[in-house]
Structures are given as C-alpha cells and as structure tokens.
Amino acid sequence: MGPTEAGLVEGVPEQVTDALCYHGEGPVWSSTWGGLRWVDMLAGDVLTLRADGSVDRMHVGDVAAFLRPRARGGWVVATERGLSLADDPDGIPEPWMDLWDDPSTRMNEGGVDGRGRLWAGTMGYDRVPGTATLYRVDAEGAVATVLPDVTISNGIDLSPDGRHAYYDDTPTGRTDVFDVVDGELTNRRPFVTHDLGHPDGLTVDSAGNVWVALNGAGRVRCHSPAGDVLAEVELPVRLTTACTFGGDDLRDLFITTSRENLDDPEPAAGALFRVRVGVPGVPVRAFAG
C-alpha cells in the first residue's frame, strides 16, 4: 500500500459470495431492503445479500440492468427496454413503461439525480458507436434525452454537494465530469483518461472522491476531485464491473464482477467482493416515482 492509499483502503478485498453471476453489475446498498442488492444482468435476475451471508435471487425479465429504492417505498428496476416498479421492498416488480421498442438496444447502467429523477443509460447489443442514449425519467414517467450519441452508457453519480456529475461512456476510455446547473448536465469535459482497462461503473464518496471500476484491468481506482489517483483496489478477476458503498457506516466498498465472454474463466469471476475503506460513501438517492 503506497502513501496515497494510507487510510483509504484497509486490507485486501474479501470474496463475499461464490461466483454466482455470469455478469454481475449495479450494486446498491439501501436500508429499505436490508442491505445490498445487485443484478446478474443478462440472466435478468436481482440478487439480495442477506445478513447471514445467503443470497436470494429474483427473476425480473430478460435483462436486469440496474435498480434503486423508491422514495415512497418499494423499488424500481430497469429491464431490457423499460422500467418495472414494486411497492414493497421485497415485492416482485411489475412493468411500468418501455422507453423504446428497438430490440437492438438494451438498458445498461443508471442512477438517480439530485431531484430524484432516474438516469437510464443504454447500449446496443452490437455496440455500434453512437447508437445508445442516456435518458432521464421523472416521477410521473416523463422521459427526456440527456445525452444522445452514446455507445455504452455506464456509471453515473453526483458529487456530494450535487454540483458535479461524473459519467462513463465506456469506449471513450474516460470518466467525464459535468457541471449541474438547474438540474441539467452542462459543460461536459474529461475528468480522467484511464490508462488501464475500460471505465465501467462508478461511485462517489462523502469526500467527493470518485471510485471507478476498470473492467478488464481487475481493479477499482479512487480519484480525488482533482483527478489524482489516491488508491487502488486489486481484484483476483479481470472483469470488475461496478462498485458501491454499504454497511452500517457506509465504509464497505462492494465490487461486482463478471465472467462474460471469458475464454478461460477464473474461479472467482462473477463473485461479489468487499473491502473496508477509510472514507464513507453517501446514502443512495431514491427515485421519486
């Protein structure tokens, strides 16, 4: 552990589950459902980590892309081309809306903005450049295009003060930053150009540091608000997909992994990992719908 990592990453990651997922993604910690949930995306399943270490699996559709708690209770999950809602934290979600009908495009990663609106990012199955979109969905179901001409819309999160948003369109090799002005994303510019792997999911801690999962590089990097590398978490698998903060003190960094298209699958690929960190995360923002 180098001097920049002191106090930020405590020890090495532990494997929390067996290699349960083909393509684990989208971890979210919420007290409303009692801990951590994530998705086995291409299986269409949502997984819940219980206090005793067991894992429950719920099938929600052909794809389960991302999920968030709802402010009124229950939760929302993005399916292949739409959104489903449950009124109860452990309820089975029912279809709410489709955002498009083109079968060549599916949901990928998403989040919630500072006004409780859902960010819903997409990607084409064939990954054709410029064919994906970042949408925004408000509590009433009105849909707006935030970013057109995306290729693989991935991690998106806000700074603790809500003034900046960080975003990964994976093939760019960058994490970008926006100013948030009156709820809109403006003044897009590069935040970090990554020299390893492919930027996938990301999360922001309470100090404003940005943690980015670098798919293909087997690691998560922590960047200061100025973009400097402060810490690095190395995993025993290459396909690190996303990360989030959890635990009672929000100092457990949970990391999802994948074995999608691996020619030589690693024993732990598809497992969930956890490592203690020195700076807590920020409680998850709930969808207002």
**Mind telling me the catalytic residues?**
200
Bridge partners (DSSP) listed for residue 58: 46
Q: Which 3-state string (H, E, C) describes the chain?
A: CCHHHCCCEEEEEEECCCCCCCEEEEEEEEHHHCEEEEEEHHHCEEEEECCCCCEEEEECCCCCCEEEEECCCCEEEECCCEEEEECCCCCCCEEEEECCCCCCEEEEEEEECCCCCEEEEEEECCCCCCCEEEEEECCCCCEEEEEEEECEEEEEEECCCCCEEEEEEHHHCEEEEEEEECCEEEEEEEEEECCCCEEEEEEEECCCCEEEEEECCCEEEEECCCCCEEEEEECCCCCEEEEEEECCCCCEEEEEEECCCCCCCCCCCCCEEEEEECCCECCCCCECC
Integer Cα distance of 104 and 123 in angstroms: 9
**Contact at 8 Å (CB) between 74 and 96?**
no
**Contact at 8 Å (CB) between 139 and 289?**
yes
Amino acid (1-letter code) at residue 138:
D
